[in-house]
Amino acid sequence: MEDLTQEEWAEQLANDTNAVVLDVRTDAEVADGIIENAIHIDIYKGQEFINEIEGLDKSKNYYVYCRSGNRSGQACQIMEQLGFENAYNLEGGMLEWTGDVVDL
């Protein structure tokens, strides 16, 4: 797991052909907008979250975010424990995100 600043995250993501963006916020938070092409899996769903994460391709690079960067950091740690090698946490989360967002 690696914590990346907003700039590092956006730059690395833009240059990564093996990237998957993962939003771990709640449904209510996602209603305010989501980073384009992100997969939404709510970390508060406990075992269901783990089940969905286990179904993801471990060979991909995951760019994970939440509202502030706290839950996405936890999600990255869980992913690491499940055998994911490349999970990148967005420091500051959506609170500091200046990039584009789309409505679901």
Q: What is the pLDDT of residues 54-75, one digit of tens each?
A: 999 999 999 999 999 999 999 9
**22-65: per-residue pLDDT in tens?**
999 999 999 999 999 999 999 999 999 999 999 999 999 999 99
| Ramachandran sector of residue 58 (left: φ over 0; alpha: ψ -120 to 50; beta: rest) | alpha
Q: Which pTM was predicted?
A: 0.96
- In CATH, what number is assigned to the domain containing residue 17? 3.40.250.10
pLDDT score recorded for residue 104: 75
Map tokens 């956006």 to a residue.
10
Confidence of residue 103 (pLDDT cuts 50, 70, 90): confident
d(CA 31, CA 54): 25
- Number of structural domains (the chain) is 1
Residue 52 counted as domain residue: yes
85 domain-assigned = yes
Q: How sure is the predictor about 99, in pLDDT bands with cuts at 50, 70 and 90?
A: confident
Structural domain span for residue 58: 2-96
What is the structure's pLDDT at 87?
A: 97
Encoding tokens for residue 44? 């508060």
- In a domain, residue 22? The reply is yes
By annotation, the residues acting in catalysis are 66
Structural domain includes residue 104? no
